[in-house]
């Protein structure tokens, strides 16, 4: 087992590893076998304050540092990940039950976002804007917001921490990171360790491992951070947005989804099956972009369903350390129980289980359900696990209506032999992202990532990240003398 679970079971504040001073510990468990990985004494409100104040102090010098010099840290961080790849893979497998395939996928994306951060340091550009006043020069500067608070989730903790932390740092900000309680190492102290080894000046990145039962809203309400970047559920996201608004802070919210993968009658059925199985069952379905619903034109429903169920039946469920495993454990027993409840509710409402997976501890086998009533709440909510609903439709118009009949609007996909038909279909869907002839699970460093409706506010990646973690400042210069009316 990686030594990271002993060495990094601490807070990281002002460039120092130190224990928390709270009165209780967060226990970090392996969701597959229940092994205790680490015990971490939580951070208190005072330590949250220490972390933000450290970031505030360190940011002044960092923000004034030449952007070309800042790039070196991210180049070195890439080298650190390459050097520690197997250890980091072990952490992802052990702490969140990710398979080797999932760990490789996550590390690939982390590298891509770090490469983009190397360039992001140079991305902000100023402008000279014309003035109606003679002799007036209007300069518009892009400047760091100062300090960014980042709250990351448990499903892709290393990636979704780095995805906000690295760009915020590259753009000249300080950062305080609060990882999810179920993934304090992969989502928190591991990120700090990588940047520490990469030579990031102390104090710029701080990690506080804690719980709202201890600190309440102190992480969000604190006066230092100007932006809170949150990834998680829409329920918690609504609260984060409310508290941020009350404290005049900007929030960037990457929230849940209820994506649909749509198979039109002219689609390549075998290819659509492959895309749908991946889109639903990657990382046990614990992905905000996962295809909760697979919509199939009724004319091809029988053929698609037979091939889909046959492929899902072959997915190996078990030990995530086994390279052949596709579906490992869900994150905890509450999640496992909730998924069992979803399946039983669907059956009670009249659905048919084409596959009815069993649940043992945190191991949830795939379930494939059809015939869920059109008015069921299950079709409109996020289901975070290996449960999928097959939904037939008659024609594109009905498909569009069904896809949009949810409070979420994150991702989705459509399969068709006619590319422009697919694009026209995508334009009618109320989502931030939609894919033609592909899966629903995608993230790229340059393309704006985010959702509509309950799936979030704001975007990350590329230029939208610059918008999220910088602000504009107008400085005017009057050449000659202004004339005043009195």
Residues catalogued as catalytic: 254, 288
Question: For the chain, how many helices (H) and strands (E)?
Answer: 16, 24
Distance CA 401, CA 92 (A): 38
- 384 CB-near residues (< 8 Å, 6+ apart): 155, 256, 285, 286, 290, 330, 335, 338, 339
Residue 252 token pair: 């960037």
- 288 CB-near residues (< 8 Å, 6+ apart): 155, 254, 255, 256, 257, 382, 410, 411, 455
Q: By the 8 A CB rule, do 198 and 110 touch?
A: no
Other C-beta atoms lying within 10 Å of the C-beta of residue 29: 18
Other C-beta atoms lying within 10 Å of the C-beta of residue 66: 8
Strand order in the sheet with 16-18: 16-18, 11-13, 205-207, 174-178, 147-151, 227-231, 250-254, 456-457
Distance CA 289, CA 456 (A): 12
Residue 259 token pair: 């994506």
**Closest of 182, 99, 144 to residue 363, by C-alpha:** 99
Distance CA 192, CA 457 (A): 27
Helices marked H in 183-315? 190-197, 212-215, 218-221, 234-246, 269-281, 301-313
Q: By the 8 A CB rule, do 366 and 339 touch?
A: no
Chain-centroid distance of CA 160 in Å reads 5
DSSP, collapsed to helix, strand or coil, labels residue 26 as strand
Residue entry with tokens 């989730």:
153
**Closest of 291, 273, 257, 300 to residue 392, by C-alpha:** 300
């Amino acid at each position: 087992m990686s030594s990271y679970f002993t060495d990094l079971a601490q807070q990281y504040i002002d460039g120092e590893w130190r224990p928390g001073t709270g009165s209780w510990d967060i226990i970090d468990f392996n969701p597959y076998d229940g092994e205790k990985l680490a015990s971490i004494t939580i951070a208190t409100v005072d330590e949250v304050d220490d972390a933000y104040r450290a970031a505030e102090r360190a940011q002044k010098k960092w923000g004034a540092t030449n952007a070309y010099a800042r790039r070196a840290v991210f180049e070195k961080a890439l080298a650190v990940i390459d050097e520690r790849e197997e250890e980091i893979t072990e952490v992802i497998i052990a702490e969140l039950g990710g398979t080797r395939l999932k760990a490789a996928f996550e590390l690939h994306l982390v590298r891509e976002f770090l490469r983009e951060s190397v360039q992001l340091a140079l991305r902000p550009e100023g402008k000279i804007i014309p003035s109606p006043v003679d002799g007036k020069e209007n300069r518009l500067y892009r400047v760091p917001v100062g300090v960014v608070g980042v709250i990351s989730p448990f499903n892709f903790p290393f990636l979704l921490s780095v995805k906000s932390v690295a760009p915020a740092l590259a753009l000249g900000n300080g950062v305080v990171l609060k990882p999810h309680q179920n993934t304090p190492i992969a989502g928190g102290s591991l990120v700090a360790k990588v940047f520490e080894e990469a030579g990031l000046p102390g104090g710029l990145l701080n990690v506080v491992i804690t719980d709202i039962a201890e600190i309440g809203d102190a992480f969000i309400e604190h006066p230092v951070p100007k932006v809170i970047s949150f990834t998680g559920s829409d329920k918690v996201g609504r609260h984060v947005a409310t508290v941020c608004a009350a404290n005049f802070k900007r929030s960037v919210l990457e929230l849940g989804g209820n994506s649909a993968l749509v198979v039109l009658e002219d689609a390549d059925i075998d290819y659509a099956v492959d895309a749908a199985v991946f889109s639903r069952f990657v990382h046990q379905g614990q992905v905000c972009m996962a295809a909760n619903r697979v919509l199939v034109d009724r004319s091809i429903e029988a053929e698609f369903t037979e091939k889909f169920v046959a492929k899902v039946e072959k997915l190996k469920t078990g030990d995530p350390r086994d390279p052949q495993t596709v579906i490992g454990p869900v994150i905890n027993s509450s999640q496992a129980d909730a998924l069992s409840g979803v399946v039983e509710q669907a059956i009670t409402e009249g659905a048919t289980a084409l596959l009815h997976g069993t649940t043992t501890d945190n191991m949830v086998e795939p379930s494939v359900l059809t015939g869920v009533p059109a008015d069921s709440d299950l079709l409109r909510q996020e289901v975070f696990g290996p449960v999928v609903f097959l939904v037939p439709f008659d024609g594109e118009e009905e498909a569009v209506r069904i896809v949009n009949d949810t409070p979420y609007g994150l991702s989705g996909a459509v399969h068709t032999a006619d590319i422009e038909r697919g694009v026209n279909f995508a334009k009618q869907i109320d989502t931030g992202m939609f894919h033609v002839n592909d899966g629903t699970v995608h993230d790229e460093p340059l393309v704006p990532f985010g959702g509509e409706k309950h799936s979030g506010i704001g975007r990350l990646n590329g230029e939208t990240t610059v918008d999220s973690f910088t602000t504009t400042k107008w400085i005017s210069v009057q050449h000659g003398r202004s004339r005043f009316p009195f």
